[in-house]
Amino acid sequence: MSASVAHNAGGNAITDGSARRLLVTGGAGFIGSALVRALIRETPHEVLALDKLGYAGTLASLRPVAESERFAFERVDLLEAERLEGALTRFRPDAVLHLAAETHVDRSIDGPAAFVESNILGTFNLLQAVRRYWAGLPAAQRDAFRLLHVSTDEVFGSLGPEGRFSETSRYDPRSPYAASKAAADHLVAAFHHTYGLPTLVTNCSNNYGPYQFPEKLIPVLVLSALAGEALPIYGDGGAVRDWLYVEDHVRGLLAVLSRGRPGETYAIGGDTERDTLEMARAVCAALDALEPRGSSYAELIAFVPDRPGHDRRYAIDASKIRRDLGWTPQTPFEDGLRDTVAWYLANLEWCRAALGGERLERLGTGRA
């Protein structure tokens, strides 16, 4: 990383066009790597990405920015408190964006301990380390500093056919994953109210886009279809999610970091509700157009037993971030989905490397 980009002490967080130092946890994951790539591509900021490189984190997702003098990477598990504090001390960030988390509901059903460790204890360690670092900053830097914690709409539980989640929705997590993220959200809020740490929290809807680990719905459908295998749809396929293109989410995060008020929560959604069966058919239609075969890939759709406790519907009311920060999603769903499917078709080697030679298998049956 170049030393030529000055460390700027004053001003509000990343709003005045000056180069800042931003530390991103989970920087080799799906959303984290999209954030890092956007920061290097579109801003003058220096970025330090931390990641433990677990099963879903891969340096290949950071390859497009690996040669930038404004980018650096350190392999750090947030459970390693000393290494975490060392990274903060050496890099001296102006803001920390916390995206490191275990995120797959099915995996949390089979093995919840990893989610408690990463999402709760890891967040606690980060908060402790950041609080000590922040308290030691000069006054101007301390006032400008921000910690942005990225969470999920799953902490709010399951919606009926009407209504949407907002920043004031009651917490009602239904899976070990959602419960671990809810606990992390509460810890962040407590550190703001108790210690004055300038935190921001976002709760987003389902992300999709390039570089998503192949266990998630869209890449599972693409890879299974290309292999001529059944496309597994849980239950009756009626579980509804609000789909948000990852690049739009990144823009929302930067809006919150730049203009959000410390102590506030911002819900970020794509305003694009689709049930699982609709998503599968849309992916198949994109594949039919981009990689045609003798018959439609939709013929491979097959229903499988539902996951235990499967939430029926999520949807986000993003009016607060639209009104207060001027953010709106920019990517039409059809365009984002087509580009995502095209990316996977062009990057099958990335998928194979991410999977490490393992086959995709059904998780989250509750049998473990």
CB 345 within 8 A of CB 222: yes
User: Rounded to an integer, what distance in angstroms lies between the CA atom of residue 273 and that of residue 165?
Assistant: 13
Instruction: Establish whether 154 is a catalytic residue.
Output: yes
Q: Which of 51, 94, 106, 153 is catalytic?
A: 153
Query: What does the block give as tokens for 203?
Result: 């709760």
Please provide residue 292's backbone torsions phi and psi, each rounded to the nearest 5 degrees.
Answer: -65, 150
* Distance separating alpha carbons of residues 252 and 223, to the nearest angstrom: 29
**What residues are paired with 46 via a beta bridge?**
21
Active site annotation includes 297: no
Q: Which of 133, 177, 208, 245 is catalytic?
A: 177
Phi-psi category of residue 7: left, alpha or beta, with phi > 0 → left and psi -120 to 50 → alpha: beta
- Please confirm, yes or no, whether 177 is among the known catalytic residues: yes
| Beta-carbon count within 10 A of 15 CB | 12
Active-site entry in 154, 247, 248, 273: 154
For residues 250 and 32, give the distance between their C-alpha atoms in angstroms, rounded to a whole number.
Answer: 9
Residue whose pair of structure tokens reads 């984290």 in the numeric block: 32
Helix, strand or coil for residue 83?
Answer: helix
Cα separation, 212 vs 218, whole angstroms: 9
Task: Please list the alpha-helical segments (H only) found in the chain.
Answer: 30-42, 81-91, 105-110, 113-115, 122-135, 139-144, 176-195, 217-226, 246-259, 276-290, 319-325, 333-346, 348-355
Active site residues: 153-154, 177
